[in-house]
Structure 1
Amino acid sequence: MLLILTIAVLTGGCWDRREIQDRNFVLAVAIDTADTGQQTEQEKAETKTATFTQPRGDKRYRVSLQILKLIKNGGNGQNGGDNRTYVLSNTGQSIFEIVRDMLGQTSKSLFFEHIQAVVISESVLRETGITPIIDFFLRDAEMRWRIKVYVTPGEAKPILEYAPPSKEAGGIYLANIVRNHTKNLHVAGARTDLGNISVMLDSKSDLIIPRIDMTGNVVKAKGAAVFKKHNFVGYVDEQVVAGLKMIRATEKSAIITLPGEEAGELLAVEVFRHDTRLTPHVDGDSVYFTLDITMWGNLGEHQLPHRTVKADDPAFIRRVERQAAEEVKRTVLYSKNVCQSLGVDVLNFGSKLKRHEPKVWNTIKDDWDAMYPNVPLVVSVNVVINQLGEHK
């Protein structure tokens, strides 16, 4: 008993316990180039005060941290209003050093275990690629691999300063946007977290990261940034993302909009289930792929000024199914052509061939970058309409 009591005294409790009000909870990080363009004299003075003197090298990055404000519930009747967070910024060469130097701007330690999102500006990616930027986040033990990553064509810091209309903290707002990707074909959210990016980089695969834009008071995730290995190549639009999600079978609830046969007619089909199979084939020295897609969905909308068609007419249903299949095929081929023209294999052709035909892959892997832009894809799509909605 004495031994048990002695062990309990020595090991009991949390030796590194720190009260919640004594921490600064970092919710989001923005990374820009150190020289972000035109600044007023006051902004230049503020930047000079916030940063530090480097013994060697040039300032490379401007790192901004979005920190949660801990407030008392009901203090002002608005639960904090629009200012649920505040932003600290610093410039330097090492992201780790930049973060540590920010302790000179705050009275509390920085805590990263609740970080939700990282926003990286295009200008940084064009200079360094993505590997040097995320290295710090992959090594630090406080970072979580489910962190959401975005690329923005403008500055990243203003996105952290944005006050969401929902009144939630900005980092949580940014993370929740991309979580809606299962119901939005225009957002590339599947397998784009920090951990997935790390796996893709380690395997030397091409990758895709959601794009986020800010104009005025509007922040929106749309389209995606594509990378050749770790090098930034460019952006793809929403239709390319939609086709990619169909090829990679990551869409969960897709809306397919179709033109009608009559003037003013418009149809929208909601696809909620699919069976997608991308298969590589080897024919002598040539390689091609087949994509077989079967989709099940509902008729979600039918705009027609003069209702001359009944939704439960079998001929009408077959027409909608045929049109939807043709539209899916068109979107898939458009996405495939754009990705091949950019030379980025985010279609997963290479990984599929490696998995299904390892011997063939070993003989052509060194020439795959040259072969990939000309690899054919044969697409077959079948759409089945199950329900017509509450009103027939």
Structure 2
Amino acid sequence: MIKKIKYMLVAGLLIFLTGCWDSNDIDELSIVLGMGIDKSENDKEPIRYTSQIARSVSNSDYVSDQLPFENVSLTGNAIHEIIRDLSLELAHPIFAQHIKVIILNESIAQENRMSDLLNQVLRDNVSRLSPTVYITSGKAQSILEVSRNEDIPSSYIEGIKGNRARTMGLVQEMGVGDVAGKLSSNSSFLLQNIDVIDGKIKMNGAGVIKGHEQKLIGFLNKEEVEGIN
């Protein structure tokens, strides 16, 4: 009887030694760190979606003088459709749990409801609700192309928000979950505006989102943001 119990215990322990059977090595994932949404110039495919994907330094194809990230842009009618199309050209599965920033272009935010633009992230059971949402009067794609000291732009942008304790020119950061809460209550709110000025990424005022319409209705400059704070 004792011997039978021992065999059962050993068999039970083997279950916990199987590891993550469905896991993927980090080299086999397209890790998305940031996303930008612009208005395209194609009326039939009005949305331009840009994914910022981290390059793995352990990948045999990686060259030391390459940037540590790659931006992939596609156009389409809806975000979820574009992401499906994106999966057809990436070498590895998309991994969205590490998205840090979502940047919305002025035109796309004026013409589309915020809930529609963020719907894919809100409904995705893999993506987190923590990515910070930004607005820009320029192109979101252009911001994600600015590299400074070989930093990945998405990570660099996230670092800037940590300076809020040292300046009155930054508004309270808004994660996707925070934005969803404001939208559900029809409350108006501010999104930090971000631009490329003199070739550098810079926080520059804020965009005003009208709660009932869920759209961008205008901008506040740096001095006005300081006054609100």
Q: Same fold (TM over 0.5)?
A: yes
1:5 is matched with which residue: 3, 7, 10?
Answer: 10
Distance of aligned partners of 1:82 and 1:244 in 2 relative to their CA distance in 1, 3 Å threshold: farther
Deviation string, structure 1 residues 129-170 (Cα, Å, up to 9, x no partner):
3110011111112222221111111111011111123x2212
Verify the 8 A CA contact 1:28 1:67 in the aligned structure 2.
Answer: yes
In structure 1, what is the equivalent of residue 24 of structure 2? 18
Give me the whole-angstrom Cα distance separating, in 1, the residues matched to 2:44 and 2:39: 11
Give me the whole-angstrom Cα distance separating, in 2, the residues matched to 1:93 and 1:131: 15
Shift of 1:97: 1.7
Shift of 1:15: 2.0
When Rg is computed on C-alpha atoms for both structures, the one with the higher figure is 1
In structure 2, what is the equivalent of residue 27 of structure 1? 33
Shift of 1:191: 4.4
In structure 1, what is the equivalent of residue 205 of structure 2? 223
Q: Does 1:125 align with 2:109?
A: yes
SS at match of 1:63: strand
2:165 is matched with which residue: 164, 177, 182?
Answer: 182
In structure 2, what is the equivalent of residue 59 of structure 1? 45
Q: How does 1:64-103 map to 2 (within 5 A)?
A: 64-72=50-58, 80-81=64-65, 83-103=67-87
Give me the whole-angstrom Cα distance separating, in 2, the residues matched to 1:95 and 1:208: 23
Verify the 8 A CA contact 2:161 2:173 in the aligned structure 1.
Answer: no
In structure 1, what is the equivalent of residue 192 of structure 2? 210
Verify the 8 A CA contact 1:178 1:187 in the aligned structure 2.
Answer: yes
Which one has more relative contact order, counting CA pairs under 8 Å at least 6 apart? 2
Deviation string, structure 1 residues 334-356 (Cα, Å, up to 9, x no partner):
xxxxxxxxxxxxxxxxxxxxxxx
Verify the 8 A CA contact 1:82 1:164 in the aligned structure 2.
Answer: no
Distance of aligned partners of 1:107 and 1:201 in 2 relative to their CA distance in 1, 3 Å threshold: same
Verify the 8 A CA contact 1:82 1:163 in the aligned structure 2.
Answer: no
TM-score (norm: length of structure 1): 0.52
Structure 1 runs not aligned, ≥5 long: 37-56, 246-392
Give me the whole-angstrom Cα distance separating, in 1, the residues matched to 2:64 and 2:131: 25
Shift of 1:103: 1.9
In structure 2, what is the equivalent of residue 193 of structure 1? 175
SS at match of 2:118: helix
Q: Does 1:116 align with 2:100?
A: yes
1:168 is matched with which residue: 134, 146, 151?
Answer: 151
Aligned length: 219
Verify the 8 A CA contact 2:75 2:82 in the aligned structure 1.
Answer: yes
TM-score (norm: length of structure 2): 0.87
AA at the equivalent of 1:22: E
Shift of 1:16: 1.5
SS at match of 1:158: helix
Distance of aligned partners of 1:139 and 1:171 in 2 relative to their CA distance in 1, 3 Å threshold: same
AA at the equivalent of 1:177: I
Structure 2 runs not aligned, ≥5 long: 1-5
Give me the whole-angstrom Cα distance separating, in 1, the residues matched to 2:12 and 2:73: 45
AA at the equivalent of 2:155: I
AA at the equivalent of 2:47: Y
Verify the 8 A CA contact 2:194 2:203 in the aligned structure 1.
Answer: yes
In structure 1, what is the equivalent of residue 88 of structure 2? 104
Shift of 1:80: 4.3
Give me the whole-angstrom Cα distance separating, in 2, the residues matched to 1:15 and 1:168: 34
1:241 is matched with which residue: 184, 207, 225?
Answer: 225
Give me the whole-angstrom Cα distance separating, in 2, the residues matched to 1:96 and 1:215: 31
Verify the 8 A CA contact 1:192 1:209 in the aligned structure 2.
Answer: yes
Give me the whole-angstrom Cα distance separating, in 1, the residues matched to 2:125 and 2:167: 33
Verify the 8 A CA contact 2:27 2:58 in the aligned structure 1.
Answer: no
Shift of 1:216: 4.5
Verify the 8 A CA contact 2:68 2:152 in the aligned structure 1.
Answer: yes
Verify the 8 A CA contact 1:88 1:105 in the aligned structure 2.
Answer: no
Segments of 4+ moved more than 6 angstroms: none
